[in-house]
Amino acid sequence: MSEYKGVMVYGEVTNGKLSAITTELLGCGRKLSDDLGQELCAVLVGSGISGLAQEAIAFGADKVYVIDDPLLKDYQTDSNVLVIEKLVKQVMPQILILGQTSIGRDLAPRLAFRLETAASMDCVELAIDPDSKLLLQTRPVYGGNARAIFTCESYPQIATVRAKTMAPLARDASRKGEVITIEAGLDPSVIRTKVVEKVSEEVAGIKLEEAGVVVTGGRGIGGAEGFKQLEELAKLLKGAIGATRPPCDNGWVPDGAQVGLTGKIVAPDLYIAVALSGSSQHMSGCSGSKNIIAINKDPEANIMKVARFGIVGDWKKVLPAFTEKVKELLGG
Amino acid sequence: MEGEIGIMNIIVCVKQVLDPEAPPASFKIDPSTNKVVPPPGMPPVVSTFDEYAVEAALRIKDAQGGKVTAISLGANLLRDVVKKPLSMGADELILLDDEAFAEGDSWATAYALAMAIKKIGEYDLILCGRQAADWDAGQTGSGIAEILGLPSVTVAKKIDIVDSKARVERVISDGYEVIEVSLPALITLSNEHAEPRYPTLKGIMAAKKKEPIVWKPADIGVDPSQIGAAGRRTKMVKLFQPVREGKCEIIEGESPEEAAVNLALKLKEVKIL
Ligand SMILES: Cc1cc2nc3c(=O)[nH]c(=O)nc-3n(C[C@H](O)[C@H](O)[C@H](O)COP(=O)(O)OP(=O)(O)OC[C@H]3O[C@@H](n4cnc5c(N)ncnc54)[C@H](O)[C@@H]3O)c2cc1C
């Protein structure tokens, strides 16, 4: 296994920029590769993305492999598995990390099976074991009720990383690195899927994942009408609306509002949790918040154990008065 | 019959798990065994997303006819639990039920399921939940697809069969993409899909009478060293409950409205506002 060396980051691009998760992966990868005394490389896959290689270097990569091909414009499982499989066999990294995103979730397992190794999904901590030099992969399991640490003795050790759990390095445009272009060499006939269309359901306003304040409603809100009241508070605080799963499943809010293990990961300064119980799966998506405030009629609800401040009461009575007072305090 | 698929053969993988909706306070680990202690009085259930996969299969069957075979892997599977797909309307239930199948990782589990699916032989579509509600890995579906050499689409919210292809709506972070995939294919389902149906009384009675087919490792031609705990590629070094520090300060008031005002004042005081 000694011929395997270095750490590789699978980079993602959104709206012509390196995704936030990619800068986080580079920050984490930098630390792992320094601990191993090895190189950190990034790979960028797509169409028209070669201009971003320098950006990956500014965030910590020593080398960037660019696979730029019109056939790679949309993420597709078959094409990405093929090009990354080829690159991994050529570069032979000890560790390959990806984001726990729609792409990483899809690509990592399939790639791991193809390369006859294994992946750990949704890791929140990665470290090098000082004795074995193996990657210690810590991930929440049982909906976040527990954590498990895994190791894998076949290379590359593959892990996906949860958003907002790793710190990016400060961008340093003066950092030097090497950019290497790789031919995709794809035969279009091996791609067994076709992306027919993409439908955006993005809500106007501040993006949930980037908001400094998130006002989240749960099942106890009872309907779409109730969310209007939450929206008023969110607007006042320049925040975004979130939801637990039941309001999404019931169509009170768009699916994209779901916070949690299988929804979005948020870590705002202020998280206001209204009429939600604080299930472990939900908390997986918001436990990184600086301050959690709970409004719930049940003093025994789990959210009351994890919040910093709480009110026991009916949200229908609490929320309007709270919103009113906040408006006054903000001088609005 | 090039280019035409009449009756669809659909296989759905369904896992029995500890109830993921059990209150977090009831969750316990036995440190001596590194295992989760089942919460008392809460029977296991079918993993949430797998129910969506069963629903997706039944919808295709309703629309154009077909045969839905559910398959579950584990040790000492509870018949009342794993028969749920039958009571929802699935035609057949196959159980890979043996100690040797237990405690596998994603690889060991996907391998055994793939070999069982190979033995079933005829399939146009294989459906799984996007991730199991216990280990939350989300790898089994993709693993089965890779072992069987099939295309895969993950985290789907809708499947339509059009011109012998599947048209799949795949959930992405701010919306969805429509993907066309050739058959046979493997698709994993998410809760954005239409809700799983409730079993009807008739369905429950039919499921009671139906005997599942039970396969042991030898029946699917796998060596016990490749499956379950013995077949793992990953090693679990430790399983633990993270300590949740933090104490909640309950804001009081004569009335809910007054408590609300006090909360706003408190947030101002500690400079959160
Ligand atoms: C594998 C898996 C993944 C999952 N992923 C996610 C995920 O990503 N995100 C997610 O949110 N869930 C997820 N879930 C679902 C999760 O387990 C819970 O079912 C869900 O989070 C519960 O939502 P809730 O707290 O709104 O509802 P409930 O648990 O029903 O809580 C409602 C709360 O509202 C309170 N309440 C009711 N009425 C009022 C009132 N008038 N005033 C004040 N309080 C009131 C009640 O006291 C109660 O505490 C997942 C589940 C599984 C199995």
Regarding whether A163 and A261 lie in a shared domain, the answer is: no
Regarding whether B255 and B220 lie in a shared domain, the answer is: no
C-alpha triplet B181, B186, B188: angle, nearest 5°: 105
Residue at which a domain ends, from A190, A219, A236: A190
**Measured distance between the N- and C-terminal CA atoms of chain A, rounded to whole angstroms:** 64
Q: Indicate which of A193, A196, A281, A300 best probes the interface with B, i.e. most B CBs within 10 Å of its own CB.
A: A193
Regarding whether B161 and B250 lie in a shared domain, the answer is: no
Number of CB pairs, chain A paired with chain B, less than 8 A apart: 246
CA-closest residue to ligand 1 atom 47:
A298
Pairing of strands B175-182, A193-200: antiparallel
- For B205-219, b/e burial (b = at least 16 CB within 10 A) is ebbeeeebeebebee
Q: 3-class secondary structure for A24-54?
A: HHHHHHHHHHHHHCCCEEEEEEECCCHHHHH
Asked if residue A141 is part of any domain, the answer here is yes
Regarding whether B70 and B166 lie in a shared domain, the answer is: yes
CA-closest residue to ligand 1 atom 35:
A275
Residue of B nearest to A271 (CA): B272
Regarding whether B217 and B84 lie in a shared domain, the answer is: yes
Regarding whether B260 and B223 lie in a shared domain, the answer is: no
pLDDT of residue B3 exceeding 50 = no
- DSSP-based three-state secondary structure for B12: strand
Q: How far is the CA of A316 from the centre of ligand 1 (A)?
A: 17
State the residue range of the domain holding B264: 243-273
B7 confidence band (pLDDT: 50, 70, 90): confident
Please list, in sequence order, all residues whose beta carbon lies within 8 angstroms of the beta carbon of residue B52, skipping any fewer than 6 positions away: B129, B189, B190, B191, B193, B195, B196
Q: Hey, which of A139, A215, A244 would you mutate to test ligand 1's pocket, going by the most ligand atoms within 8 Å of its Cβ?
A: A244
From B224's Cα to the closest Cα of chain A, the distance in A is 19
Q: Which of B137, B142, B256 sits opposite A318 (nearest CB)?
A: B256
Q: Is A131 exposed, middle or buried (0-12, 13-18, 19+ CB in 10 A)?
A: exposed
Regarding whether B101 and B15 lie in a shared domain, the answer is: yes
Given a contact cutoff of 8 angstroms between Cβ atoms, the answer to whether B249 and B269 are in contact is no
Q: How far is the CA of B127 from the centre of ligand 1 (A)?
A: 27
Q: What is the mean pLDDT of chain B?
A: 95
What pLDDT is stored for residue B5 in this prediction? 58
Q: How many domains does the structure of chain A reveal?
A: 2
Regarding whether B132 and B258 lie in a shared domain, the answer is: no
What pLDDT is stored for residue B158 in this prediction? 98
B4 confidence band (pLDDT: 50, 70, 90): low
Asked if residue A198 is part of any domain, the answer here is no
What pLDDT is stored for residue A331 in this prediction? 87
Q: What number of other Cβ atoms are within 10 A of residue A203's Cβ?
A: 14
Cα B25–chain centre separation: 23
Residue at which a domain ends, from A135, A160, A190: A190
* A106 in contact with B, Cβ within 8 Å: yes
* Complex ipTM: 0.96
Residues 41-80 on A with a CB inside 8 Å of B are: 74, 77-78
Q: Is B133 in the pocket of ligand 1 (CB under 6 A)?
A: yes
E strand or H helix at B142 = helix B140-148
CB contact under 8 A, B136 and A142: yes
Regarding whether A177 and A73 lie in a shared domain, the answer is: yes
- DSSP-based three-state secondary structure for A189: helix
Q: Check the CA dihedral A67-A70-A74-A75 and report its sign.
A: negative
Regarding whether A227 and A148 lie in a shared domain, the answer is: no
**CATH number for position B191:** 3.40.50.620
* A256 in contact with B, Cβ within 8 Å: yes
CA-closest residue to ligand 1 atom 26:
A218
CB contact under 8 A, B137 and A311: no
Regarding whether B248 and B227 lie in a shared domain, the answer is: no
Regarding whether A186 and A214 lie in a shared domain, the answer is: no
pLDDT tens digits in sequence order for chain A, 332 residues long? 569 999 999 999 999 999 999 999 999 999 999 999 999 999 999 999 999 999 999 999 999 999 999 999 999 999 999 999 999 999 999 999 999 999 999 999 999 999 999 999 999 999 999 999 999 999 999 999 999 999 999 999 999 999 999 999 999 999 999 999 999 999 999 999 999 999 998 888 899 999 999 999 999 999 999 999 999 999 999 999 999 999 999 999 999 999 999 999 999 999 999 999 999 999 999 999 999 999 999 999 999 999 999 999 999 999 999 999 999 999 86
* A145 in contact with B, Cβ within 8 Å: yes
Q: Is A283 in the pocket of ligand 1 (CB under 6 A)?
A: no
What pLDDT is stored for residue B1 in this prediction? 39
Q: State how far the Cα of A150 lies from the Cα of A157, in Å rounded to an integer.
A: 11
Asked if residue B141 is part of any domain, the answer here is yes
Q: Check the CA dihedral A288-A294-A296-A300 and report its sign.
A: positive
Given a contact cutoff of 8 angstroms between Cβ atoms, the answer to whether B58 and B88 are in contact is yes
**CATH number for position A94:** 3.40.50.620
CA-closest residue to ligand 1 atom 50:
A281
Regarding whether A178 and A64 lie in a shared domain, the answer is: yes
Q: How far is the CA of B80 from the centre of ligand 1 (A)?
A: 26
B243 confidence band (pLDDT: 50, 70, 90): confident
Regarding whether A119 and A15 lie in a shared domain, the answer is: yes
Regarding whether A137 and A174 lie in a shared domain, the answer is: yes
Residues in chain A, overall count: 332
From B211's Cα to the closest Cα of chain A, the distance in A is 31
From A257's Cα to the closest Cα of chain B, the distance in A is 9
Asked if residue A200 is part of any domain, the answer here is no
CB contact under 8 A, B233 and A148: no
Q: Which of A77, A102, A278 sits opposite B152 (nearest CB)?
A: A77
Residue at which a domain ends, from A157, A190, A223: A190
What pLDDT is stored for residue B271 in this prediction? 95
Asked if residue A23 is part of any domain, the answer here is yes
CB contact under 8 A, A199 and B175: yes
CA-closest residue to ligand 1 atom 41:
A314
Regarding whether B190 and B163 lie in a shared domain, the answer is: yes
Asked if residue B1 is part of any domain, the answer here is no
Q: State how far the Cα of B82 lies from the Cα of A32, in Å rounded to an integer.
A: 43
Q: Is A208 exposed, middle or buried (0-12, 13-18, 19+ CB in 10 A)?
A: buried
Q: Is A258 in the pocket of ligand 1 (CB under 6 A)?
A: yes
- DSSP-based three-state secondary structure for A202: coil
Cα B61–chain centre separation: 20
CB contact under 8 A, B261 and A202: no
In angstroms and rounded to an integer, the radius of gyration of the C-alpha atoms of chain A is: 22
Asked if residue B4 is part of any domain, the answer here is no
Asked if residue A216 is part of any domain, the answer here is yes
Asked if residue B182 is part of any domain, the answer here is yes
Q: How many domains does the structure of chain B reveal?
A: 2
Q: How far is the CA of B214 from the centre of ligand 1 (A)?
A: 37
Regarding whether A111 and A67 lie in a shared domain, the answer is: yes
Regarding whether A229 and A173 lie in a shared domain, the answer is: no
pLDDT of residue B60 exceeding 70 = yes
Residue of B nearest to A207 (CA): B174
Regarding whether B178 and B259 lie in a shared domain, the answer is: no
State the residue range of the domain holding A115: 7-190
Q: State how far the Cα of A127 lies from the Cα of A31, in Å rounded to an integer.
A: 9
Regarding whether A168 and A84 lie in a shared domain, the answer is: yes
Asked if residue A73 is part of any domain, the answer here is yes
Asked if residue B53 is part of any domain, the answer here is yes
Q: Check the CA dihedral A50-A52-A58-A63 and report its sign.
A: negative
Asked if residue B86 is part of any domain, the answer here is yes
What pLDDT is stored for residue B174 in this prediction? 87
* A201 in contact with B, Cβ within 8 Å: yes
What pLDDT is stored for residue B2 in this prediction? 41
Regarding whether A124 and A244 lie in a shared domain, the answer is: no
pLDDT digit string, tens, across residues B186-216: 999 999 999 999 999 999 999 999 999 999 9
Asked if residue A133 is part of any domain, the answer here is yes
SS3 content of chain A, % helix, strand, coil (to 5): 35, 30, 40
From B271's Cα to the closest Cα of chain A, the distance in A is 11
Locate A261 and state its tokens. 């293990």
Residue that is written with structure tokens 């005997």 in the block: B211
Regarding whether A149 and A261 lie in a shared domain, the answer is: no
Q: Is A219 in the pocket of ligand 1 (CB under 6 A)?
A: yes
Asked if residue A123 is part of any domain, the answer here is yes
DSSP assigned state of A136:
E
Regarding whether B247 and B144 lie in a shared domain, the answer is: no
